[in-house]
Amino acid sequence: MRRRPSERGTGPRCIIAVSGVDGSGKSSLVTGLTSELQRAGAASEVVWFRPGMGMGWLDAPARAVKRLLRQPEAPAITRAGTGDVPRSRRGPLGYAWCLLVTAVYVRHVTSALRRAEGVVVCDRYVLDAFVTLRVFYAGVDVALAERLVRALLPEPDVAFYLAVPAEVAHARKPLDMIGEAAVRAQLDAYDAELPVHPRIVVLDGTADPEELVSAAWSVVRPLLRKDAA
């Protein structure tokens, strides 16, 4: 397994990616895997980022632009999947914002990976970034943003996708600001992207959580042994 040099850490020994729509059970699987890693004596860290998070001072000018466009200041993700694309996510303005969001996302993730040591478990990773860009930035061409993500983020050593029906995911998080239309749109995007990533291990997100952890751990454990050897 590849090691990535870092100024403050040795870089991750192994990257595990856990992907899926909100309500698919990612957090439970991540918690279970980190517990198994701890029992195995392997240091681990969890990295959790998605495009649009951690924009910092850029949020203020973004709100100002929304006001100029007479657009509601509520997060645009509340309308995702409905076909109602905000003006701020169309045309040159939407394109520039999408690239900026992508750059911030990549910087956050790469910085976290450089600081990390041991096994890194990513709650969302490259597959989820693609889906987020396609669904929540549907008004622009996201091809360049996807190329940046693909080029700048290292391949995971193992990746899991938790598959669930839309109604199950939505029922698990009924108060989430992302509505069922967005959940369905994301699931369609995952289904379209999965064939491009044949190495991703698909798990049934409706299965018993302990069974899911056991199934995922059976894939991760041999990788740790191989690395130790």
pLDDT > 90 fraction of the chain, expressed in percent and rounded: 58
Res. 1 pLDDT band, cuts 50 70 90: very low
- State both tokens at 58: 């850029």
Q: Is residue 73 part of a domain?
A: yes
Rounded Cα–Cα distance for residues 84 and 81 (Å): 8
Q: Which domain holds residue 221?
A: 11-228
Rounded Cα–Cα distance for residues 138 and 172 (Å): 25
Q: Is residue 3 part of a domain?
A: no
**b/e for 148-184, b at 16 or more Cβ within 10 A?**
bbeeebbebbbbbbbbbebebbbeeeeebebbebbbb
Classify the C-alpha dihedral 154-128-51-109 as positive or negative.
Answer: negative
CA angle at 125 for the pair 123 and 127, rounded to the nearest 5°: 125
**Segment holding 45, helix H or strand E:** strand 44-47
Higher pLDDT, 32 or 77: 32
Q: Tell me: the pLDDT tens digits for 28-68?
A: 999 999 999 999 999 999 999 999 888 777 677 666 666 67
Q: Is residue 60 part of a domain?
A: yes
The answer on pLDDT for 225 being more than 80 is no
Q: Is residue 151 part of a domain?
A: yes
The answer on pLDDT for 124 being more than 90 is yes
Higher pLDDT, 219 or 87: 219
> Are 148 and 73 spatial neighbours (Cβ–Cβ below 8 Å)?
no
Q: What one-letter code names the amino acid at 1?
A: M
Res. 78 pLDDT band, cuts 50 70 90: low
How many structural domains compose the chain? 1
Q: Is residue 192 part of a domain?
A: yes
The whole model's pTM is what? Answer: 0.85
**Segment holding 132, helix H or strand E:** helix 126-136
**Nearest alpha carbon to residue 25 among 203, 218, 227:** 203
**Segment holding 46, helix H or strand E:** strand 44-47
Q: Tell me: the pLDDT tens digits for 138-171?
A: 888 999 999 999 999 999 999 999 999 999 998 8
Q: Is residue 5 part of a domain?
A: no
Q: Is residue 4 part of a domain?
A: no
Highest mean pLDDT, choosing among 11-15, 39-43, 157-161, 222-226:
157-161
* Mean of per-residue pLDDT scores for the chain: 85
Higher pLDDT, 49 or 180: 49
Q: Is residue 1 part of a domain?
A: no
The answer on pLDDT for 84 being more than 70 is no
* 202-210 average pLDDT score: 96
pLDDT > 70 fraction of the chain, expressed in percent and rounded: 78
Res. 110 pLDDT band, cuts 50 70 90: very high
**Nearest alpha carbon to residue 13 among 115, 119, 123, 109:** 119
According to the model, what pLDDT value does residue 177 have? 63
**Nearest alpha carbon to residue 164 among 19, 7, 50, 13:** 19
Count other C-beta atoms under 10 Å from residue 92's C-beta. Answer: 8
According to the model, what pLDDT value does residue 12 have? 67
- What CATH number has the domain bearing residue 139? 3.40.50.300
